[in-house]
Structure 1
Amino acid sequence: MGSVSSRPENGKLFMDFRYRGKRCREQTSLEDTRENRKRVQKLLDRIEAEITLGTFDYAKHFPHSPRAEQFKAMRLQSQHLDTPLFSEFVEVWFSEMLIQWRKSHSDTVRQTLNGHLLPAFGEKEVGRITKAEILEFRASLAKVTTRSNRKLSPSRINHIMTPLRMILNEAANRYNFSSPYQGIKSLRVPRTDVEPFTLDEVRLIIEKVRPDFRNYYTVRFFTGMRTAEIDGLQWHAVDFERRQVMVRSTIVNGEIQSTKTDGSFRAIEMSQLVFDALKRQQQATGGMKFVFCTRNGSPLSHNNVTKRVWYPLLRHLGLRKRRPYQTRHTAATLWLAAGESPEWIARQMGHSTTEMLFRVYSRYVPNLTRQDGSAFERLLKSNFNDFKPGAE
């Protein structure tokens, strides 16, 4: 953000701003008065707008400035810069990044490249893409509608723009030009309020769900596991002796992968309800590889489970439609309601710090005193003491 100041030696106003990564100070002949400051500030605002749009011509505004010649030389150099087409550089960049990405992420990036970035920039030289073109492209994304006839959300647009930023920044480093993405900030994403279930709703769901999924949802609600984590849970990761569920892998698009982050690699303490549910499940699928699976032992398809079990159940019970991921939010809010330590809860959730816990669940945080899971165990016992799932 530029500023307008006056020089102590002569009292004349000057502008202080940044252009192409360099600090620029340009003197005016105007005295430091309130009216003159307004005039200079108005000019500075117009200059910064042009810089953002990529249309700023230094020599046009400051024809006698030494900086004008410097930036003119830089512009001429960039015009003669020999850079590959965006489509060519993308393939090099993508192949080099594959080694550090999970397959599910690389598939997502590939879809973004093919569906959005290559059609827009593929035939342009990577060194000649301007900030104005980037902003125009982002604005066009806001007009795109999905199959469900919805506009792309700010979060989705940001996810599309992220590979573009990475590509252009890497190309700028390799071919020695200023990245046109410089100064472009991500769109503001509205905070999504969590919609956890109450303990009474949880009990109702577990009581009324079809019997072959009762253990599944008991574990989901009281461990906070993500869908890919519970669907990819294997029996060797269930430690009944230590009463822990070891989250070591996930399943995405039918493939076993490592956990999302180092923090996601964790041990979840079993409450008695979870322990009992897994013991019952062991009788049904103990001879299989996956804890929760189809009759032939293959992993569950989360789309099928959601459409054929989860949503029909919520409709039947008259409960508001919510994504299955709300079972994870429910676990967090129940732990908080029980008074468990934020650090303990963060470890159970797979968060590296308590920052997200307080940011997402702040309104559910009471006075926290317990730190070992015992408070949550007492909460469950007081509400589920007479609960016998599957009993007639």
Structure 2
Amino acid sequence: MGRVYARKDTEKIVIDFTYKGQRCREQTALPDTKANRKKVEKLLERIEAEITLGVFDYARYFPNSPRAEKFNKLDMGQGDTPLFEAFANTWFDEMLIQWRKSHQSKIRMTLDKYLFPRFGEEEVGRITKASILEFRASLAKVTTRTQTPLSASRINHIMYALRMILDEAANRYNFSSPYQGIKSLKIPRSSVEPFSLDEVQLILNNVRPDFRNYYTVRFFTGMRTGEIDGLQWDAVDFERRQIAIKRSLVMGEIEQTKNDSSYRIIDMNDLTFKALKEQQEVTGDGDFVFCTRSGTPLSHNNVTKRVWYPLLRYLRLPKRTPYQTRHTAATLWLASGENPEWIARQMGHTTTEMLFRVYSRYVPNLTRQDGSAFERLLAQNF
């Protein structure tokens, strides 16, 4: 359903409606007054009625609009394929049933903020490889709210949505996808800065008492932020000393884990068992293990800014994200000599490959297994 509003910069009334699956916004010459709004609202009602009846003529209402010519070509059958925005909206609606709400939100934002402004009014079958590469290059010049450039990972996510749309359109309208041969940008290796065991003890001895159990569980289970913030008591089995990771808190909503490896069972060690038992005395009557006083899930941004970073500053420890607690669990397990396959299962990795690639270089610093054992073997036999 369309709407009428005024632009802040011009204070002129704008008509906002959908035609042929495409969002259309046309600015009028009328200033924003009560009488003018009423007049334009009646015009919008007439437009939507004609769209419903199939008799709407875009050029008759908006003869100077660049969209008028594009819609006229489509109406005359001159367009081989639909406009990108129209097809992408159709594709989006069809894919919704497969996606979690958080993913739906990310794709919607990608379409509205990045893809539609660049490709929205082009025929989907006429987009070229050159224009795709030009678009990707332009994304590298975009800055975020913190004035930092878009990361390679973020650019790849934007381009992935574009690729899916173009590949699907190519399949439906029988043309070769222009995305063929375009590779993703190389993503720099993520920063892994685990805490030492002494630093873990220092943190747990000085953290606010109401968050000691929270960080104990984080350090010794390797749970992701969304997993521990979304942890509910029905997933904690004290008899078997296990935690079932089956939900995650994503953008303020509880969602099922995104894949089979994320759904896993974590074995409790003694410190984790004790921390959860203590926490049960505090929040055991509610749904969430760690929550606010009103029983709602924690806001990880608030916890990070008000508890985590101030604590690191107080202890004069280098600033590291809370996600480093997960990396710490992995390195401590490896350093203690635990079976790598067991560690991978605890972390939610499908194989041990990532485990060794990401964490193995930290193990010698913790265990002194830096080749000295082999040196001793040689000394004893040669």
TM-score by length of 1: 0.72
Residues 365 and 261 of structure 1: CA distance in aligned 2, closer, same or farther (over 3 Å): farther
Name the residue aligned to 2:236: 238
Match of 2:265 among 264, 267, 274: 267
Task: Give the one of 316, 319, 323 matched to 1:318.
Answer: 316
**C-alpha separation in 1, matches of 2:362 and 2:203:** 22
**Which residue matches 1:333?**
331
Match of 1:188 in 2: 186
- Distance in 1 (alpha carbons) for counterparts of 2:252 and 2:283: 19
User: Could you say which residue in structure 1 is the equivalent of 2:151?
Assistant: 153
Give the corresponding residue for 1:257. Answer: 255
Structure 2 counterpart of 1:125? 123
- Structure 2 residues without counterparts, runs of 5 or longer: 1-77, 365-382
Is 2:79–2:123's contact at 8 Å kept on the other side of the alignment? no
Q: Letter of the aligned partner of 2:227 in structure 1? A: E
Partner deviation per Cα, 1:159-193 (whole Å, 9 max, x = no partner): 11110011001100110001110111111111123
Q: CA deviation at 1:316?
A: 0.8
Equivalent position of 2:68 in the other structure: none
Q: Which residue of 1 aligns with 2:14?
A: none
Alignment partner of 1:103 is 2:101: yes
Q: Distance in 2 between matches of 1:188 and 1:255?
A: 31
In structure 1, the residue matched to 2:163 is: 165
Q: Distance in 1 between the 2:327 and 2:360 partners?
A: 12
Are the counterparts in 2 of residues 282 and 291 from structure 1 also a CA contact under 8 Å? yes
Q: Assess if the C-alpha contact under 8 Å between 2:152 and 2:187 holds in 1.
A: yes
Structure 1 residue 81: Cα displacement: 6.3
Q: 1:207 aligns with which of 205, 208, 211?
A: 205
Q: 1:250 to 1:261 in 2, by over 3 A?
A: same
Q: Give the partner amino acid of 1:123.
A: E
1:44 aligned partner:
none
Shift of 1:250: 0.8
Letter in 2 for 1:355: E
Aligned length: 288
Does residue 295 of the first structure (1) align with residue 293 of the second (2)?
yes
Give the fraction of aligned pairs with identical amino acids, expressed as a percent. Answer: 75
User: What is the Cα deviation at residue 362 of structure 1?
Assistant: 2.8
CA distance in 2, matches of 1:317, 1:156: 33
* Structure 2 counterparts to residues 49-64 of structure 1, below 5 A: none
Matched to 1:345, the amino acid is I
Paired with 2:158 and 2:166, the residues of 1 have a C-alpha distance of 13
Contact kept? 1:336, 1:364, Cα under 8 Å: no
Deviations 1:10-39 (A, max 9, x none): xxxxxxxxxxxxxxxxxxxxxxxxxxxxxx
| 1:237-264 Cα deviation digits (max 9, x unpaired) | 1100000011111111221100121111
Contact kept, 8 Å, 1:81 with 1:127, in 2: the verdict is: no
Q: Which secondary structure state, in structure 2, belongs to the residue aligned with residue 174 of structure 1?
A: helix
One-letter identity of the residue aligned with 2:132: I
Q: CA deviation at 1:235?
A: 0.6
Provide the alpha-carbon RMSD of the alignment: 1.3
The corresponding residue for 2:174 is 176
**SS at structure 1 position matched to 2:265:** strand
Do 2:331 and 2:360's aligned partners in 1 also have CA atoms closer than 8 Å?
no
1:294 maps to a residue whose letter is T
Evaluate the alpha carbon distance shift between residue 193 and residue 253 of structure 1 in structure 2; reply closer, same or farther with a 3 A threshold.
closer
Report the Cα distance in structure 1 between the residues aligned to 2:197 and 2:99, rounded to whole angstroms: 38
Structure 1 segments unaligned to the other structure (5+ residues): 1-79, 367-392
CA contact (8 A) 1:226 1:328 kept: yes
Q: Distance in 1 between matches of 2:178 and 2:363?
A: 43
TM score, norm. by length of structure 2? 0.74
Q: Which residue of 2 aligns with 1:276?
A: 274
Q: Output the amino acid matched with 1:216.
A: Y
C-alpha separation in 2, matches of 1:83 and 1:220: 52
| Letter of the 2:352 counterpart | T
